[in-house]
A and B are shown apart, each in its own frame.
Chain A
Amino acid sequence: MSIRLSRRALSVGAAMRELEGDELGGVVLFAGRVRPDRVASGRVQALFYEADRPLALRQLRRLAGTARGRYGARRIVLWHRLGTIPVGDVAVIVGVASAHRARAFESARYLIEELKATVPIWKTDRARPARRPRRPRSRPRGRSSG
């Protein structure tokens, strides 16, 4: 299994390479990206992620162990990026390879849902105000400022 909490950008291609194996016919790879959601203070530009690192790593290892034992996952990737992540960038990758697709899907679903609910990672949005504040009108209308 490959478990990682990193401030570096996450690569879907690198995750796929971790899941290679001749016997592994089913590969499910989930990548969660930052969305430009509307929030009270404007529109999200980035999310800031932080973690209680030792506990988060321990819990990720537990989840991977359960995915192996209960769902038959053979190879697992659990990567989460920390720090400030701009809209469009990948914040999390959950990848599972197993002999057949059913186990890979079940494992991946289990892992992402449990990651969100039980791993001490938090996000805070970094938003840009939805509208610019109006400039005070200091010159007569119709005249350019330059």
Chain B
Amino acid sequence: MPKPGRSVRIVLFASAREAVGAAALERAVPERGVSVETLLRELAREYPPLAPILRASRFVRNGEYVVGRRGRVRRGDEFAIHPPYGGG
């Protein structure tokens, strides 16, 4: 498991958690971080059942919604995957 200081913590909810089989993942990233797009592509490759869920999901970095996929995710960030909502 990567050292927390060098990794991104990925938090998974609902169908995303079920697709991966874990509520959270620690993922090592380079010092300059990775783009959201790259992170999602790698996750989809590593967990194929997650791929269709990611296409419909929203993403949250450190408590703020991510707009677009060009932003970067850096060491120490928390990156949450939000599948389509279903309250009520």
Most A Cβ at <10 Å: residue of B11, B13, B82, B87 = B87
Count of chain B residues near A, Cβ 8 A:
13
Count of chain A residues near B, Cβ 8 A:
22
Provided the pairs A55-B63, A120-B82 are in contact, do residues A50 and B13 lie with their beta carbons within 8 angstroms?
yes
Stretch at the interface among A8-16, A36-44, A109-117, A129-137: A109-117
Provided the pairs A52-B60, A54-B63, A55-B63 are in contact, do residues A115 and B87 lie with their beta carbons within 8 angstroms?
yes
Q: Mark A30-71, 1 if CB is under 8 A from B, else 0.
A: 001000000000000000011110111000000000000000
Q: Which residues of B contact A118 (CB under 8 A)?
A: 85
Q: Is the CB of A119 within 8 A of B87?
A: yes
Q: Is the CB of B60 within 8 A of A55?
A: yes
- Determine how close the nearest CB of chain A comes to the CB of B17; give it in whole angstroms: 9
The CA of A19 and the CA of B87, in the complex, are separated in Å by 22
The CA of A55 and the CA of B82, in the complex, are separated in Å by 11
The CA of A56 and the CA of B80, in the complex, are separated in Å by 13
Q: Which residues of A contact B82 (CB under 8 A)?
A: 52, 120
A-B residue pairs in contact (CB < 8 Å), sample of 21: A50-B13, A51-B87, A52-B60, A52-B80, A52-B82, A55-B63, A80-B87, A91-B88, A92-B87, A115-B87, A115-B88, A116-B85, A119-B85, A119-B87, A121-B86, A121-B88, A122-B14, A122-B83, A122-B86, A122-B87, A123-B86
Interface residues of A (CB under 8 A from B): 32, 49-52, 54-56, 80, 91-92, 112, 115-124
- Excluding A112-B88, A120-B82, A122-B87, 10 further A-B contacts by CB distance (< 8 Å) are A49-B87, A52-B11, A52-B13, A55-B63, A80-B87, A92-B87, A117-B85, A118-B85, A119-B87, A121-B88
